[in-house]
Structure 1
Amino acid sequence: MNELKYCKRCLYPSTKPDLWFKNGICGACHAFERRLTYDWENGPSVLRQIISENKINPKYDCIVPVSGGKDSTYQAWKLLKEGYNPLCVTAPTDQLTPLGRQNIENLKKIGCDYVEISVNQSVRQKINRYGFFNVGDIQWPEHLLIYTIPVHAAVLFKIPIIVWGECPQREYGAGKPEDASLKYFDRRVLEEYGSLNGLRVSDLLMIDGVDEKDLYFYEYPSSDLVEEIGVKGLYLDNYFPWNGIANVTIAQSVGFKTYDKPILGTIANYENLDNYVHGIHDYLKYLKFGFSRATDVACNLIRRNLLSRTDAIELVKQNDGVFPAYYMDKTLQEILSIYNISIDEFLAQCDEYTNYDLFVQDSCGELVLRPDGSPTLNGDFNSINF
């Protein structure tokens, strides 16, 4: 049996992929603590120098990858406020929600030019299905395209600087300790941390009806093209303090809309509003690793002293890993039908990816289920003895 151990400060468990611990404290908490001593005063001038030294396109200063979410809305607003002219670039999500579309349209109203690059939906749905059955990630195409399409746009429009939001290796502790100080996003970061789950783009050629010509945007542009214009992916949180709650407030002030009801499986109504498939992804995450979206949100609130660890435990127990019977206004069956996946196939695949050692079992080895149908987590959130 795997014994879940938790960070002394937040609720991240030892099963979180790529997470490291020191003295019982997780990498995300260590990284946040170091940021308290950052020289934020000089951050804006450092960013200005980098953008100035790398400007090629006479009109645009940088590319901002956007989804229409709270953070990308904040990114666009912040760069405009600093006097830059960003080109917003998006790769639409797997099943874009009406609210997601509304928030994307809002980006165009705050003063940005906007480019949307969509891939062949028939091919994408085949890849979604393949990703679900082969690596347990129904959002696999999205997790790749959000990184590759902005780089393609940088090459196409000759805009070397891409300004991402937070560095995941810093904000969520997902990576080597030294990568919490990452300054640039590049091919190495994509391949190591880009949620590829061991699946290569070339593997997609095994899917019936998928040809090499269909995979252009899934591939990272060639090194020659990237180096020719000197593409550099920056993280905005290297130059300005990053706070998701503040981002929500600012984004709402310029037209960003949150959901009007609690979202199943989390404790927030202000993120992951753009894709009906988020609930499935988060549930698989819970089955594999014993934590999910509610934990991610709670940990960020704990670090910023907006939620006590004790209160967070109760909220996470109630909301994390809830069976995704629906997401926003669509049922699970409606969401799965796009990929020709039945409920029975979904349940069988969920069982295939469930780490039984993380959940309570009866005397016959069967999972003990909660009222919503999800497995009961085995362990205590106060198990912090590393």
Structure 2
Amino acid sequence: MKKQKVLYGLPEEVKFCSRCVISNQRPSSVVEFKNDPKAEKPTIMFDDEGVCSACRYAEIKENIDWDQREKQLIELCDKHRKSDGQYDCIVPGSGGKDSAFTAHILRYKYGMNPLTVTWAPHKYTQIGWDNFQNWIHSGLDNMLYTPNGRVHRLLTRLAFEVLVHPFQPFIIGQRLIGPRFSVLYDIPLVFYGENQAEYGNNIEENEKPTMDMSFFHESRLEVMDLVLGGVKVRDLIEKHGIELRDLTPYLPLDGERLKKTGTEVHYLGYYLRWDPQECYYYAAENTGFQANTERTEGSYSKYSSIDDKIDPLHYYTTLIKFGIGRATYDAAQEIRNGKITREEGVALVKRYDTEFPVKFFKEIIDYMGISEEKFWDVIDSARSPHLWLKDNDGTWQLRHQVE
């Protein structure tokens, strides 16, 4: 049988976890400033029994002494807690279930005074804006940071055209905003929710409570060689009319300033057992978080990543590049957390994973400034031949599906 061409450095043989529904094509969730769109590497590992690293970590979580971990959290909070009314920690987030849980429980159970900071979505959904407002009105201070609209639209379009990853500039900004505000306001302690290693990155990353700070300030490249949206900063300036000052929100921070502030980025999920569904229940009860009235396109869920109109398109691009759509991500973690069975997960993936996100499609391609024809040219050129087959009638089909 003729071998099919493989893009993005993916494994040639497609395998599915024997416990959940994720495949070995799952890409890295690490955002770098030197991204090669043809050389993305998967990070999820499968053992000899065909079980993925995320499922193995779910086993490890069963044996963690969570009471001891909570004591460590209390000690950390005691170390940083202010008694003069000043903010003592930063919590980045949108007011979705995870950040709503993180900020609220830190303030109202552990006595912290968090400043919540939000990197604005590309285009708010109504439910996203309502939940954001409810989050603030539940008793939290917030600063909404909205980047230069012209620049962000350009970077989003380039990221789609070059990387088929329209979410990349948003992810960079969102990842940097916590440490950035830490330096600006001299607040050393930053809390994010869960470590992405929960979902398949290197298991060893879960063994420490803090994020690697090198992402925020170090680079082997000069600033002009940093890559944003798949394009070097030099080319953004010379070919796209961008000034260096326009890119400030996306650039690594000054390492000396971070060191002087003593910035530490901690995962709350290291200290408290992380369960997305339980975060939802807590947020609904304590911050007024509301699930959507309809399921999200490409999945069956109603309460995860619902604040940005570009979200469905982002997950559609992961389906195109890696054969992994939104239903796969949702079902995989719900299986690991014991909310559904693998059989139920397989059925949900087969039903919803390849669904095209119609609802906000026209609005988002208008936002990026591309035509529908251009959109499909980019999408179809991004399909790795080892994952996709084109039928005689011109219809694209996945070669491999979870069973």
1:242 aligns with 2:274: yes
Instruction: Please show how residues 43-58 of structure 1 align to structure 2 within 5 Å.
Output: 43-54=69-80, 58=84
Q: Residues 169 and 228 of structure 2 are in contact (CA less than 8 Å); yes or no, is this contact kept in structure 1?
A: no
- Pick one of 360, 371, 379 that aligns with 2:389: 360
**In structure 1, what residue type is equivalent to 2:90?**
I
- Pick one of 22, 34, 47 that aligns with 1:22: 47
- Pick one of 256, 262, 271 that aligns with 1:224: 256
Change beyond 3 A, Cα 1:44–1:61: farther
Change beyond 3 A, Cα 1:36–1:164: same
- 1:283 is matched with 316
- Pick one of 268, 282, 285 that aligns with 1:253: 285
1:69 aligns with 2:101: no
1:179 aligns with 2:186: no
**Could you tell which deviates more after superposition, 42-51 or 202-211?**
202-211
RMSD of the alignment, in Å?
2.2
1:83 aligns with 2:111: yes
1:95 aligns with 2:128: no
- Pick one of 51, 55, 68 that aligns with 1:42: 68
Q: Structure 1, residues 220-261: CA drift from partner, whole Å, max 9, x if none?
A: 211001000111000001111111111111111130111101
1:107 aligns with 2:135: yes
**In structure 2, what residue type is equivalent to 1:272?**
S
For 2:357 and 2:159, locate their aligned partners in 1 and report how far apart those are by CA, in whole Å.
Answer: 18
Q: Residues 333 and 342 of structure 1 are in contact (CA less than 8 Å); yes or no, is this contact kept in structure 2?
A: no
**Could you tell which deviates more after superposition, 74-83 or 121-130?**
74-83
- 2:180 is matched with 152
1:197 Cα deviation from its structure 2 partner: 8.1
1:322 Cα deviation from its structure 2 partner: 1.4
Change beyond 3 A, Cα 1:75–1:201: farther
1:166 aligns with 2:194: yes
For 1:130 and 1:137, locate their aligned partners in 2 and report how far apart those are by CA, in whole Å.
Answer: 9
1:167 Cα deviation from its structure 2 partner: 0.4
- Normalised by the length of structure 1, the TM-score is 0.89
- Normalised by the length of structure 2, the TM-score is 0.85
For 1:83 and 1:54, locate their aligned partners in 2 and report how far apart those are by CA, in whole Å.
Answer: 11
For 1:15 and 1:34, locate their aligned partners in 2 and report how far apart those are by CA, in whole Å.
Answer: 23
- 2:33 is matched with none
The DSSP-based 3-state class of the residue aligned with 1:134 is helix
Q: Residues 167 and 182 of structure 1 are in contact (CA less than 8 Å); yes or no, is this contact kept in structure 2?
A: no
**In structure 1, what residue type is equivalent to 2:279?**
N
1:180 Cα deviation from its structure 2 partner: 3.2
1:77 Cα deviation from its structure 2 partner: 1.6
Q: Residues 56 and 159 of structure 1 are in contact (CA less than 8 Å); yes or no, is this contact kept in structure 2?
A: no
Q: Structure 1, residues 340-379: CA drift from partner, whole Å, max 9, x if none?
A: 11111000000111112212333x6x76x3xxxxx32212
Q: Structure 1, residues 290-340: CA drift from partner, whole Å, max 9, x if none?
A: 1121111101111122111111111101101312222xxx3x112210121
For 1:318 and 1:356, locate their aligned partners in 2 and report how far apart those are by CA, in whole Å.
Answer: 23
For 2:182 and 2:387, locate their aligned partners in 1 and report how far apart those are by CA, in whole Å.
Answer: 43
**In structure 2, what residue type is equivalent to 1:13?**
S
**In structure 2, what residue type is equivalent to 1:381?**
V
The DSSP-based 3-state class of the residue aligned with 1:338 is helix
For 1:232 and 1:347, locate their aligned partners in 2 and report how far apart those are by CA, in whole Å.
Answer: 42
Q: Residues 173 and 180 of structure 1 are in contact (CA less than 8 Å); yes or no, is this contact kept in structure 2?
A: no
1:207 Cα deviation from its structure 2 partner: 5.0
Q: Structure 1, residues 185-227: CA drift from partner, whole Å, max 9, x if none?
A: 13435689xx978766666435512110011111121100100
Q: Residues 20 and 177 of structure 1 are in contact (CA less than 8 Å); yes or no, is this contact kept in structure 2?
A: no
For 1:307 and 1:348, locate their aligned partners in 2 and report how far apart those are by CA, in whole Å.
Answer: 37
Change beyond 3 A, Cα 1:53–1:298: same
- 2:337 is matched with 304
Change beyond 3 A, Cα 1:297–1:206: farther
Structure 1: tracts of 5 or more residues without a match: 370-374
For 2:211 and 2:291, locate their aligned partners in 1 and report how far apart those are by CA, in whole Å.
Answer: 29
Q: Residues 74 and 110 of structure 2 are in contact (CA less than 8 Å); yes or no, is this contact kept in structure 1?
A: no
Q: Structure 1, residues 44-65: CA drift from partner, whole Å, max 9, x if none?
A: 2212222333468951121111
- Pick one of 360, 377, 384 that aligns with 2:398: 377
- 1:372 is matched with none
